[in-house]
Amino acid sequence: MTDLRIGVYVCHCGTNIAATVDVLALSAYAAKLPGVVISREYKYLCSDPGQELIVQDIRELHLERVVVASCSPMLHEKTFRNVLARADLNPFFLQFVNIREHVSWVHEDKTAATQKAKDLVRAAVRRVRFHKPLEKRRVRINENVLVVGGGIAGIHAALTLADAKKHVYLVEREPTIGGHMAMFDKTFPTLDCAACILTPKMTSVGSHPYITLWTYSEVVQLEGYVGNYKAKIRHKPRYVIEDLCVGCQECVAACIFKEGKAPDEFNLGLSKRKPIYLPFPQAVPQKVLIDPEACIEFKTGKCKKTCVEACAERNAIDFKQTETFDEIEIGSIILATGFKTFDANRNAYYGYGRHSNVFTSLEIERLINASGPTGGELKTRDNRTPQSVGIIHCVGSRDHNTNRWCSKVCCMYSLKLAHLIKERTSAEVYCFYIDMRTPGKGYEEFYDRLLDEGVHFVRGRVAEVTDWAAHPSEVGKLVIRAEDTLAGFVRRIPVDMVVLSVGLEPQADAKEVTRLFNMSCSSEGWFLERHPKLAPVSTFTDGIFLAGACQGPKDIPDSVAQAGAAAAEAMALIDAGEVTLDPYTAHVLEDDCSGCKTCVPLCPYGAIGFDETKAKANINEVLCKGCGTCAAACPSGSIEQNFFEDEEIFAETEGVLLDV
Amino acid sequence: MSYAYFPGCSLRGTGRAYEESLLAIFQALEVDMQELPDWNCCGATTYMSYDELQSYALAGRNLAIAAKLKQDIVAPCAACYLVLNKTHHYVREYPHIRYAVDRALSAIGMEYAEHVRVLHPLEILLNDVGLAKLKAAVRNPLTKMRVAPYYGCQIVRPYATFDNQRNPVSMDKLLEACGAKVVYYPVKTVCCGGSQKGSLPEVGLDLIRHLLRTAYTNGANVIATACPLCQFNLEVFQKEAAWNDEPKLMPILYFTQLIGIALGLDRRKLGLHRAFVPVETLEKEFDTCLVERA
């Protein structure tokens, strides 16, 4: 194959490469390698004149293969592929050698570095002869979008896309959208009422012509690839016909339970609800549902069914309802499944669950909310108004025993709760913190305001919340013991109520969800973005985007911003209409395949199928990501991977090891 | 399987009653345990704070002896329990400590025994003997006793191998099996001050006072302890601590002594005569719960 005409181009990259690698010597060495008809070195190959140089050489010297030795392919492989394309040469006849990140930036010895660069270039020249003329694949994009999760992020993403006249399916697991934000009383730093700013968006979703809202539903199956996904959605039975129910709630009033007996999930068990219920007053959709665990009819079959009587006009109640399924076709997916709060029972030192007046922050939100269990009055579990309240920051955050990360929102929401508690009860409020993290717009100013309002701040991680009195003033109180690190001694502060500022965690089923959607999460469970700085809303699975706290703890402004970004990236896909995929895929050489099926379970992307009639494996080239696992595992060598065929790899290896 | 009993210095000194009662009840409950031959001081808290590396070597020698006999160690003294466990932890985690300890031990023809377990009598009673067997052996249920179970800090911090670190219940369960009422004692793992009563009396005395007062306010008439120093601190400084308004003394006994009383063992065998708070206090409080016969 030595009659192929090869051109080698060595870049100085200013002094980045040239200071360590002798680029002139390297270029001279390359000129003498078999097949090389031209070898040049240039200060900045990626510049316009640099690129033009290569285009000209290809045309005038009839080059058939090109080797470029410069920086990382992640940076400029695409650039030089385009150069070949401009000169009407197949872009995959390029071999890109990294002599910057792999040589000049990591070695100091110039002689050794230059020798290493020579070895790498020699290997590339041997390899590039075996390159095949590969073609990128084009795939069409379906315009529909699936948004999973109906919290503030999912809602905002759905509305942004729907307003652009893209059809959106919004699937939410709970019987209503709204997520955690619907449970808050006020939001920081503006102290906007959470429901007041959220419900208009919720009702927009409910009535938008371009949004199909499916609540009490879950995605149970997903197949396909970017632009061409097929999802199966399961609708859990409400035992109420959604199209007929108007949310009048006569059925709830008529229920044979005079009082609720089941714990109200929205109020975190602080109050009770009936078996037939509306999750909260502003629920969207405004439809009731029946809890089969609490309902007498389901348990015994012998209920008077006063609810059915009350709904006689519309007849919306249907005890025989079963789950139903829908299959949809979409081109892109946005995951906005949110977070859960840290389970305070896990921290034994703070007494949650043992001392009755220790609450979580979310419970306090419900207590001070006007539509909550006490109508907005802050009361202890023994029905007193607290005279003193302690707020403990970082519960389940910044803690090697539980979660190491900072949950980002707790300092701000603790300050918000401190303000609201002081406003409603005139209690003394003590905040126990490690650092005060208030970085957002208006956040530090909010903290200043709290300082003026007379909230007491103790900088120290609380050691314990206890109920034994060391002093008469502590009798009957909960004592918070913490070192005041600024004052330099240990404090015991007796309070009536303790609030634990619980951190944010990934949802309990984060790992299952990543498997279902064929993307990844970190070891902690946060969904993995493609790049933490430069690609925070896309994932490594093309066509699947992230929005909101499922990707990492964040506040409402950031969740909304990220949701907008995810919607924009999904829209970019849709507007482009098609996407091109790299051709590094594997394919089965049918004649050689013995049908042993070794490869089938190995594919992390589920791209390998098996044709039972032919008894041969086959690879879906659109799903294939080119990881190489199947090609390496095939016992008979019947799987080849484009751009990494045996000849290419052996040639490169030989090139490195042999000294020509 | 037979255990190696590691008394440590205190059980031969101020903690005599702990050893006496422990050996008596283990014999009665048929726990197979022999004293570790040629054991040496573990270093306890003092030596450990003076010269850590030498302390690990000292502790390591005891472990090595037990390994030769293929036995696990039972360490009733809380400080010994902690030091032996700490030695295991640090030797395992820090190669330079392992190296030093190995060298020291090889000089006397021994090697570091990382598989020798260090156990506490509480877990032997709970797991090996079991609550059912203990209950069946009770001749003299402690019905008049309202016990505050005091664990102290060294058997739960930092190593809590057999019980919950924050709210241990092994002693509670054993005492309940003996028929006693165990009171709510939220300070059950709060430090007694250790030797602070000597070095920093205002701190030490304060801690002792809280422990005594909380037991009293929660309705206890006796405190059960698992450590010789805790027992000493709580027992002998009661007047100085002036922990209550009435001149009332609270008996402080080892949990092994209480179990021994429940099993109907001889009071002299249980070391009850060694108590500073007179035994008569007990008898007045608890009626006829003390038995003369063996």
Give the pLDDT mean for A527-540. Answer: 92
Query: Over the stretch A141-176, which tens digit does the pLDDT of each residue have?
Result: 999 999 999 999 999 999 999 999 999 999 999 999
Q: Using an 8 Å Cβ cutoff, are B274 and B17 in contact? A: yes
Phi-psi region of A303 (alpha: psi -120 to 50; beta: other; left: phi over 0): beta
Give the pLDDT mean for A494-504. Answer: 98
Cis peptide leading into residue B186 (ω within 30°): no
Q: What pLDDT shows up at residue A224?
A: 85
Calculate how close chain B gets to A499, using CA atoms only, in Å. 20
Query: Over the stretch A233-243, which tens digit does the pLDDT of each residue have?
Result: 999 999 999 99
Q: What pLDDT shows up at residue A556?
A: 97
Question: Which residue bears the tokens 């006849």?
Answer: A93
What single letter denotes the amino acid at residue B205? L
Q: How far apart are CA A648 and CA A126, in angstroms?
A: 8
Res. B247: pLDDT tops 60: no
Cβ neighbours of residue A316 closer than 8 Å, sequence gap 6 or more: A240, A241, A244, A245
Strands, sheet with A36-42, edge to edge from the N-terminal-most edge strand: A36-42, A6-11, A65-70, A94-98
Query: Over the stretch A268-307, which tens digit does the pLDDT of each residue have?
Result: 999 999 999 999 999 999 999 999 999 999 999 999 999 9
Give the pLDDT mean for A539-550. Answer: 94
Residue A575, class by beta-carbon neighbours within 10 Å (0-12 exposed, 13-18 middle, 19+ buried)? exposed
Q: Is A98 on the interface with B (CB under 8 A)?
A: no
- Between residues B193 and B268, which one has the greater pLDDT? B193
Query: Over the stretch B177-187, which tens digit does the pLDDT of each residue have?
Result: 999 999 999 99
Give the pLDDT mean for A630-645. Answer: 94
Q: Which pLDDT band, with edges at 50, 70 and 90, does B289 fall under?
A: very low
Q: What is the mean pLDDT of chain B?
A: 91
3-state SS string for A8-54? EEEECCCCCCCCCCCHHHHHHHHHCCCCEEEEEEECCCCCHHHHHHH
Calculate how close chain B gets to A471, using CA atoms only, in Å. 9
What single letter denotes the amino acid at residue A173? R
Q: What pLDDT shows up at residue A658?
A: 86
Q: How far apart are CA A638 and CA A630, in angstroms?
A: 10
Res. B250: pLDDT tops 90: no
- Between residues A78 and B24, which one has the greater pLDDT? B24
CB-nearest to A348 from B166, B214, B217 is B166
Angle between helix A48-61 and A73-86 (nearest 10): 50
Dump strand ranges (E) for B83-140.
Answer: 118-119
- The whole model's pTM is what? 0.83
Res. A74: pLDDT tops 90: no
Q: Name beta bridge partners: A97.
A: A69
Residues of A numbered 606-645 whose beta carbons fall under 8 angstroms of chain B's beta carbons: which are they? Answer: none
- The one-character DSSP state at B4 is E
Q: Using an 8 Å Cβ cutoff, are A303 and A276 in contact? A: no
Lowest mean pLDDT among A12-16, A68-72, A95-99, A518-522: A518-522
Integer-rounded Cα radius of gyration of chain A: 32
State whether B165 and A348 contact (CB < 8 Å).
Answer: yes
Q: What pLDDT shows up at residue B294?
A: 30
Query: Over the stretch A374-428, which tens digit does the pLDDT of each residue have?
Result: 999 999 999 999 999 999 999 999 999 999 999 999 999 999 999 999 999 989 9
Q: Is B165 on the interface with A (CB under 8 A)?
A: yes
Calculate how close chain A gets to B233, using CA atoms only, in Å. 18
Q: What pLDDT shows up at residue B291?
A: 41
Res. B248: pLDDT tops 80: no
- Between residues A42 and B221, which one has the greater pLDDT? A42
Q: Which pLDDT band, with edges at 50, 70 and 90, does B286 fall under?
A: low
A349 contacts on B by Cβ (under 8 Å): 166
Integer-rounded Cα radius of gyration of chain B: 19
Q: What pLDDT shows up at residue A161?
A: 98
Q: How far apart are CA A221 and CA A231, in angstroms?
A: 6
Q: What pLDDT shows up at residue B283?
A: 65
Token digits of residue B252? 């402080």
Half-sphere exposure of A46 (CA within 13 A, CB side): 14
Q: What pLDDT shows up at residue A621?
A: 85
User: In 3-state terms, what secondary structure has residue A615?
Assistant: coil
Calculate how close chain B gets to A306, using CA atoms only, in Å. 48
Most confident of A68-82, A84-98, A599-613: A84-98
Query: Over the stretch B140-157, which tens digit does the pLDDT of each residue have?
Result: 999 888 999 999 999 999
Q: Is B67 on the interface with A (CB under 8 A)?
A: no
Q: Which pLDDT band, with edges at 50, 70 and 90, does B290 fall under?
A: very low
A467 contacts on B by Cβ (under 8 Å): 186
Q: What pLDDT shows up at residue B279?
A: 66
Give the pLDDT mean for A13-37. Answer: 96
Q: What is the mean pLDDT of chain A?
A: 95
Res. B256: pLDDT tops 90: yes
Q: Which pLDDT band, with edges at 50, 70 and 90, does B281 fall under?
A: low
Calculate how close chain B gets to A348, using CA atoms only, in Å. 6
Token digits of residue A518? 């064929």
CB-nearest to A468 from B164, B166, B186 is B186
Kindly provide the ipTM of the predicted complex, given to two decimals.
0.84
Res. A223: pLDDT tops 60: yes
CB-nearest to A349 from B166, B186, B214 is B166
Q: What pLDDT shows up at residue A660?
A: 55
Give the pLDDT mean for B133-142. Answer: 94
CA distances from residue A465 to A363, A428, A491, A494, B174 in whole angstroms, order as listed = 18, 17, 12, 9, 27
Query: Over the stretch A638-650, which tens digit does the pLDDT of each residue have?
Result: 999 999 999 999 9
Cβ neighbours of residue A659 closer than 8 Å, sequence gap 6 or more: none
Q: What pLDDT shows up at residue A263?
A: 97
CA angle A177, A179, A180 (to 5 degrees): 155
A466 contacts on B by Cβ (under 8 Å): 186-187
Q: Is A347 on the interface with B (CB under 8 A)?
A: no
Q: Using an 8 Å Cβ cutoff, are A36 and A6 in contact? A: yes
Token digits of residue B237? 């400084």
What single letter denotes the amino acid at residue B119? L
Cβ neighbours of residue B231 closer than 8 Å, sequence gap 6 or more: B15, B18, B225, B252, B253, B254
Token digits of residue B120? 């506490």
